[in-house]
Structure 1
Amino acid sequence: MTISRRQAAAPLLALMLALGMGACGSDTDTGGDAPTTSEDAAPTSDAAPSTGDETEPTAAPTTEEPSVTPQPTDPADPSGGTALPTGPVSDEVIASEPVQAAISDLAERESVAADAVTVAGHQAVTWSDGSLGCPKPGMMYTQALVPGHLLVLEVDGAQFSYHSGDRGNRAGEFTYCADPHLPNNLGTGSATM
């Protein structure tokens, strides 16, 4: 299952609006009206007036933001112990410049010819923050959802994870990640670039 950018950004937008509105005033403000409480608020057009006999309605379920699940790592396993998603990848994606650059990078890292590297998987993902699923200890990252891609390369049966983001000065460029932290919302299949 994949989610659109709007669906992925909606919870973040709601949080930003709530924080922004909370910063607009406080009980100690000297000017303006008194703060409105939920008891003072007028009912909305789609809600019936309260008679005092009803129970409080429960909030509608919200869509959870994609999150990262830390996985145990094994230094002998270049995929970081994480099951990387694999599947068929289109020739168009394989021929793209960012994927070819990642293939060259892995061939150099593993001291093999570029044709020994195969593309085992490629997906559009939404990273949970600016680390693009590859956080480094002691580093701080933007705390915003980042659309991007996950590329899985393979050499002699060993899988390697390459991550990219669709924004910023290095948009679309894949970076090797020795310890991948993948989003929970991974779909199936290949994405186009």
Structure 2
Amino acid sequence: MLTQRQRLVALAAAVTFALGACGQATDDTTPGGTPSASPSDDATTSSPSEEDTMKPSPIEPDNPDAGALPTGPVPESVTSRPEVVAAVEDYAKRRDVAVEDVTIAGFAEVTWSDGSIGCPEPGMMYTQALVPGLQLVLEVDGELASYHAADGQPFFYCASPIAPAEGGNPAN
């Protein structure tokens, strides 16, 4: 029979192992919690450089994982939100254009299917729970970009978006 101390040690070891298997949080994460490349990354890995992650890539309309992006008129009550203004400024910087050249092409209240907030990174593990959030679609020169957020969190750029869970609530 195990003593109370032995049970506590075993429990602590199990929790430590479980948390270690979930990944390691570092200061090298983006606002969405995804890892960013660091100078110490092994040169043989295929991790993108910080410069590469700053460059937006157009969303392919035939990408089945992206789903239909929520486009359409967006009320001024949404466009004037500080987190939306910050996302517009971020996209203008990424595209090297004036803020006025960025159009808010769509917005929706959504439910993300897991903790990746619709922007999973290869090799990462995420909580497997529905996450209420938002999706913002910005446009410059006909190219769309998807910005994602969990409720109460700032938007972050998602280069390879996947569709929210079924039953999300479009806010358009």
Q: TM-score, normalised by structure 2?
A: 0.60
- Does 2:130 correspond to 1:145? yes
Q: Looking at CA atoms only, which structure, 1 or 2, has the larger radius of gyration? A: 1
| 1:117 and 2:102 aligned | yes
Measured after TM superposition, the shift of residue 143 of structure 1 is 0.8
Matching residue of 1:106: 91
Deviation string for 1:94-121 (max 9, x for gaps)? 0100000000000000000000001010
Partner residue, 1:159: 144
Q: Could you list the structure 1 runs, at least 4 aligned residues long, displaced by more than 3 angstroms after superposition.
A: 80-83, 184-189
The structural deviation recorded for 1:185 is 3.2
The one-letter code sitting in structure 2 at the alignment partner of 1:135 is: P
Q: How many pairs align? A: 111
Structure 2 spans left out of the alignment, 5+ residues = 1-55
1:88 and 1:172 map into 2 onto residues whose CA distance is: 23
The Cα shift of 1:84 comes to 1.4
Q: What is the percent sequence identity of the aligned residues?
A: 54
Is 1:78 the counterpart of 2:63 in the alignment?
Answer: no
Q: Quote the residue 2:167 is aligned against.
A: 185
Contact 2:102-2:140 at 8 Å conserved across structures: yes
CA distance in structure 2 between the partners assigned to 1:165 and 1:157 by the alignment: 26
Report the aligned-residue RMSD: 1.7
Higher helix share: 2
Structure 1: which amino acid aligns with 2:113?
S
Give 1:185's aligned amino acid.
G
Residue in 2 that maps onto 1:89: 74
Query: How far off is 1:187 after superposition?
Result: 4.6
Cα displacement string for residues 57-101 of structure 1 (whole angstroms, at most 9, x for unaligned residues) = xxxxxxxxxxxxxxxxxxx96224334120110111101000000
Structure 1, unpaired ranges of 5+: 1-75
Q: Provide the rounded CA distance (Å) in 2 between the counterparts of 1:135 and 1:91.
A: 30
Mapped partners of 2:129, 2:114: distance in 1: 5
Q: Secondary structure at the match of 1:162?
A: strand
